[in-house]
Every structure is written in C-alpha cells, then in structure tokens.
Amino acid sequence: MSPSLSPGAAEPTTDAKAPDASMMERWRPVVAAFNPRQPLSREEIDGLYVTRPQAPFRRVLDDLRFEPDHAPLFVICGSHGSGRSTELACLDRHLHEDRAVIEVDLDRALPEPVSPVALLLVLGLAALKAAEAWTADGQALAAAIRRLDAAVATLTPANAPQGLFPVAELIEDVGAVTSISSPHKTSRHSALGTHSMGQIIWHPEAGRAALEASDRARWAILRAVNHAFDTLQEAAGLPPVVLADDLDKLHHLDDLLQVLGDPKLLTALTVPLVLTGPVNLLHSDRFHEVRRHARVLPLYNLPVVKPDHAPDPTGIELLLETVHRRQVFFQLPKLWIDEAALPLLARGSGGCLRDFVGLLRAAALAAYNEGAATLKARNAEVAVRASRHMLEFTLTERSVQQLKAVLATGRPTDDPHFDELLFHNVVVCYPDQDLWYRPHEILVDWLNG
C-alpha cells in the first residue's frame, strides 16, 4: 500500500509541442511554488497559512497560555498530507518568543524496533543538544549528560556489547534531525543548522534493549530526561516545549501502537509534548489508551464533497485560497491558471492539502509540456488521471471491496484492512453533522465504473 498520493510527472498530451525557453521561465516559479514535499517554514506562515475551522495549533496555544505550568501530551491526528506539519510550524511561529522550542523529526530519529523508551531517549538527547546551544554553564550540561549516561546504562543487558547508547555521540547525531529556537532568536536553524539530511545512528541492538527495558530502567530514563529539560530551561530562561513530527511515517500501525504503548510514561514528562500521528489514533479501538491520556486533536481532510455526493464549497474554497495566497506570496505570473481547472483539482485531492498542491504541480507540468501559457481543465484532468493510476497499482481485490462498501455507506467497516486503508489515505474522513468516511475522491468515479 502506498503511503502517499502525491502525483509524479504528468502524462504527456497527444498534441504536445516542444516548449521554448520563455515557457520554461513562465512555469518555473509556478512549479517551485507548488512543491508538495516542502513544508511551510515559520517565516512563510503569515503569508501562506490558510486558517481552517478548529485549527489544532490554536487549541494547543490556548492550553499552553492558560495553563503555562501544565505539561500535557498533545497528539495532532490527520491523514498524510492533511497539514499536521504546518500546524507545528504555526506553533513554532507563535511560541518561539516565549518558549525554548525544540522540533524533532521522529521519522529519522527513532531506532528499530520503536518503543516509548526510545522516544523518551530521543527527546532527552534533543534537550541536551538544545541546552548545549543555549548554555554558558558547561558544568551543568556535563552533569546532565552524566545523568542520562547513568540512566541508559540500566537499559543495557548484561550480555550485550558495550556502546549500545553512546550518549555523547547520539547528542551530536540528534542535531541532524532537530531544530531549536536560537539563543538570539534570529533564525530557527541558526543554532543547529538545517536538518534536511542525516539521522541518528543507533547500535543495531539499541532499539531492542529500549523495547525490553524494565520498569526501573524506564523511570530512570524518564527522570534523566526531565533533568535534561530542567537544564535547558535554566540555560534558556524559557520553558521548553517539544514539537515532534512524522510518527505516521512508521511503516505499520503496529509500530505506532508500540511507540505509544505506554502513554503514562510520556505524560510524566515535565514539558509539553506535541506529536503528530495518523487519523487512526482517533478512529481505532487499539489507541484507546492514548486517547485516555493525551489531548487528541483532529485535523480532518477539508470537505470537498457532501454525503449526498454534491460538491462541498466549504473545503473547495479553502483549497482555492491556498492558490491565491501562493499567487501573491511567490509573485506568480498573471493568468497562469484557468479558474475552471481549480475545482477539478480541489475535488481530486480528496480535501488533502498535500495532494492538492501535488496535483497543481503535475497539472502545471502538463501545461508546460504542451507549450501552453495557461493551465486548463484538460491539464487538471491529466494530473488527476496520472495520480489515480499510481494509486490503482496498490489496490487488491480486498481493498476494492472495502472501498465500495465505504462508498455505499459512508461508514467504516469491521474488516481490519479498513485501518490500513485509512492509514494510507485511501479512505478519508470528513467532518459534517457526524464524521463520515469515503474512498479518496480520486478513486470514486473508477469505483462506480
């Protein structure tokens, strides 16, 4: 099952002619402006963020501002590409003056197998790396490192090789997947550099040792991690907050359940922790314990269709606003798109922001490839069809039967395979009077055919 719907290169049209250099110059900024893999930065939020109803970042901000001494666990849940990373960027934008903000890319930070203890270790290492950037007190930092070193020693089985958890080395590695508010509040990456490459390099047996940790070892790690955050707060003079993204990039739902399998441990942290995860955390009974201990905040797909199958202008208009904002922010060429193409792309996205941006990019490439100065409805149809073909490759007969059942009822099925379809954004969840479910819009005509 493919974890992403973002389309690749658009199909060529039959009447294509070779574009000239002027066409390249016209379309280059459009293609660059609609990159589905480029999340919004803190600096872009004011110009590009489209406010949506009940935005999770506002609810997190309210909690942190009204209860500044409380340390809750937040989980922002939504489908792939629904805008969860953008919600974290909004939080960073609004918090970095008042808190020491640490952002961690969990996709490249966690060892295998994953576990709550491994997650705690990553957070502790990130806290120490942040403290290193802020502090002028080398003795306090060295004491915090020694304390984490002593705690991780309790994880290592007696017959295991030494060096499973080389704390000093791992603190350096975590810099490749972490960004922090700089001591001088200039650029979000000024203290640690960008983190587009790299990952934490764990000993092959480290993940297993963390997974099998005793209760004594778990709580020793927790105390050391909390001490690391205390050290950071003392150095920064600001209370820390952690924004940890990309838990949904774990390969299986079972991995997600494993890393969140002890939410009580995570709620014992003395700093607020904001995680992002798939919509299954809201839907599946397997995550009941997470919902009991965390503040789970939904980020549903934007409604582009109603339960009666008519277009829903609510979600379509929000998606169209993203185009108008990028038009202004990136100063795109005038009349580069025919307005009639936009609703086709909005509905084809299934209300998923990343899919909408990816379809726009693919449609722009289709227009460029035919030497056209304006993106037309036919280019949108090419992009939608190419994306649908890519998704069809992942579908089994069982998947098709599940999708047809969901299309007929608007409700989840009892088949365990439904959870996988939801996890991979093949089934989407829309808000209405009640929640309702539908196959990704790009598949609906094909399923009805």
pTM of the model: 0.87
pLDDT for the residue numbered 38: 85
Q: What is the pLDDT tens value at each position of the chain, 449 positions in all? A: 444 444 444 444 444 555 678 899 999 999 999 999 888 887 889 899 998 878 899 999 999 999 888 889 999 998 888 889 999 999 998 998 889 999 999 988 999 999 999 999 999 999 999 999 887 778 999 999 999 999 998 887 766 677 899 999 999 999 989 888 765 443 333 333 334 458 899 999 999 999 999 999 999 999 999 999 999 999 999 999 999 998 866 767 788 888 888 888 999 999 999 999 888 888 888 888 889 999 999 998 999 999 888 999 999 999 999 999 999 999 999 999 999 999 999 999 999 999 999 999 999 999 999 999 999 999 999 999 999 999 999 899 999 999 999 999 999 998 989 988 988 889 999 887 788 999 999 999 999 98
| pLDDT one-digit tens code per residue, 109-165 | 999 999 999 999 999 999 999 999 887 778 999 999 999 999 998 887 766 677 899
Domain ranges for the chain: 21-39+303-448, 53-299
CB-count burial class (<10 Å; 0-12, 13-18, 19+) for 350: buried
pLDDT for the residue numbered 81: 84
Q: Which CATH number is associated with domain 53-299?
A: 3.40.50
| pLDDT one-digit tens code per residue, 3-54 | 444 444 444 444 455 567 889 999 999 999 999 988 888 788 989 999 887 8
